[in-house]
């Protein structure tokens, strides 16, 4: 999933021959999961039609403050458009528009949006070779850069005039990559390795039967996906689950038993920065595993169980610089039991949820958690979708890492 997914992107299109590329750029932004609105200079409509861009963006295209064809229509509020945007990308950005941006001229809707924008502004210059190299253009770049605007470098190649040199607008794929890289550099978990466990474990009784629990893995998978979006490299160690992930910076390791999860978690722990153990690991396993299916008999079946190795406690004893997070699913004396587990296993944070709380528990899409820190601070949250709970947990960890 692209880091552009879910972003509101305002695309500014100015009057240059490279405006035809804006159609491809809109398509790629939408494909990356972004919400796209387009604002054009009036002259840009001579190069690419609003109909094309509105069809690709699935949103109305704006090019003027008012609708001349409908005297009763509301005006196009440049402030609302600018504040809606998480990113403002002007591509192509002509010499004319760039000069106006540098000098605060506001004679069209696009420029008014620019002057009202509080989000990062990216611009992709597009002009002929001599215009690109002109001293006034260089000064414009310097002024815009000093304002905090971010230039997407023009490329070297054949220009509309037939000349070959700098001034060609970056290709849409290059612009997408530039935006993604720029966002990644600001993500709070960039450069961090996070190990997450999720789902149940199955402890074999015989080749057919096992001891397990009702965990779906939804909470752990939500944390893993949220951590990737925040810039982390994620190792997700999952017990049996029907869930799947498709993230470039996420490695999914499938395991079945508590022993397999123990071994995989330990193999990645020393190199990680954060470990979040949300899996529902079996506390016991059959002492003897039958190699053949156990046949039904007239009398009762007695299983002898032995303890599994405690993954969380072993990591707590081993940790050095890692931030270690455990989960506690309780049915009675919830807070007291969670605090005991937190201290006993040398955790930095424990996430408590109770089966007594409506909206919490296995297989649900929601959860209700209370965060308990190693200094016994208690932070309760209301019932939320697990995707939001995942963000709450990670934001708390980020705050602690930067405290």
Element (H, E) at 371: strand 370-373
User: Which string of b and e fits 295-325 if b means at least 16 CB within 10 Å?
Assistant: eeeeeeeeeeeeebebbbeebbeebeebbbb
Whether 40 contacts 97, CB under 8 Å: no
Residues in the chain: 403
- For residue 91, what are its two tokens? 């591509």
Nearest to 202 by CA among 290, 314, 292, 281: 281
Angstrom distance (rounded) from CA 97 to CA 362: 56
Angstrom distance (rounded) from CA 41 to CA 249: 39
Distances (CA, A) of 193 to 114, 221, 355: 37, 16, 31
Element (H, E) at 131: helix 129-133
Specify whether 213 is catalytic.
yes
Strand, coil or helix: what is 335? helix
**Mind giving me the DSSP string for 65-86?**
SS-TT-TTSPP--HHHHHHH-S
Alpha carbon distance, N-terminus to C-terminus of the chain = 30
Pick the catalytic residue from 213, 263, 337, 346.
213
Angstrom distance (rounded) from CA 56 to CA 9: 14
Residues assigned a catalytic role = 213
């Amino acid at each position: 999933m692209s880091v552009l997914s879910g972003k509101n992107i305002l695309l500014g299109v100015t009057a240059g021959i490279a405006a035809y590329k804006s159609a491809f750029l809109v398509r790629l932004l939408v494909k990356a999961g972004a919400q796209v609105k387009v604002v054009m200079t009036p002259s840009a409509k001579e190069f690419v039609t609003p109909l094309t861009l509105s069809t690709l963006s699935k949103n109305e295209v704006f090019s003027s403050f008012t609708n001349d064809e409908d005297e009763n229509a509301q005006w196009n509020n440049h402030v609302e458009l600018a504040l809606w945007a998480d990113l403002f990308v002007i591509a192509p950005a002509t010499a004319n528009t760039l000069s106006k941006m540098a000098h605060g001229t506001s004679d069209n809707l696009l420029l008014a949006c620019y002057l009202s924008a509080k989000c990062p502004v990216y611009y992709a210059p597009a002009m002929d070779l001599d215009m690109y190299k002109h001293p006034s253009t260089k000064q414009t770049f310097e002024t815009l850069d000093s304002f905090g605007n971010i230039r997407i470098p023009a490329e070297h190649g054949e220009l509309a005039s037939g000349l070959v040199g700098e001034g060609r607008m970056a290709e849409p794929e290059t612009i997408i990559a530039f935006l993604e890289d720029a966002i990644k550099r600001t993500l709070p978990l960039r450069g961090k390795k996070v190990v997450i466990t999720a789902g149940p474990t199955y402890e074999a009784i015989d080749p057919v039967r096992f001891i397990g629990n009702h965990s779906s893995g939804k909470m752990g998978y939500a944390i893993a996906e949220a951590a990737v979006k925040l810039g982390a490299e994620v190792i997700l160690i999952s017990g049996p689950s029907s869930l799947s992930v498709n993230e470039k910076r996420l490695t999914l390791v499938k395991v079945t038993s508590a022993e397999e999860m123990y071994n995989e978690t330990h193999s990645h722990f020393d190199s990680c920065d954060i470990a979040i153990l949300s899996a529902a690991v079996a506390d016991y396993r059959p002492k003897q595993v039958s190699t053949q299916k156990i046949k039904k008999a007239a009398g009762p079946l007695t299983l002898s169980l032995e303890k599994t190795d405690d993954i969380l406690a072993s990591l707590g004893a081993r940790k050095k610089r890692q931030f270690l997070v455990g989960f506690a699913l309780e049915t009675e004396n919830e807070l007291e039991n969670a605090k005991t587990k937190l201290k006993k296993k040398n955790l930095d944070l424990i996430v408590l949820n109770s089966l007594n709380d409506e909206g919490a528990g296995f297989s649900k899409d929601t959860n209700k958690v209370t965060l308990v820190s190693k200094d016994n601070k208690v932070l309760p949250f209301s019932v939320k979708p697990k995707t939001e709970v995942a963000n709450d947990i990670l934001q708390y960890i980020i705050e602690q890492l930067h405290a």
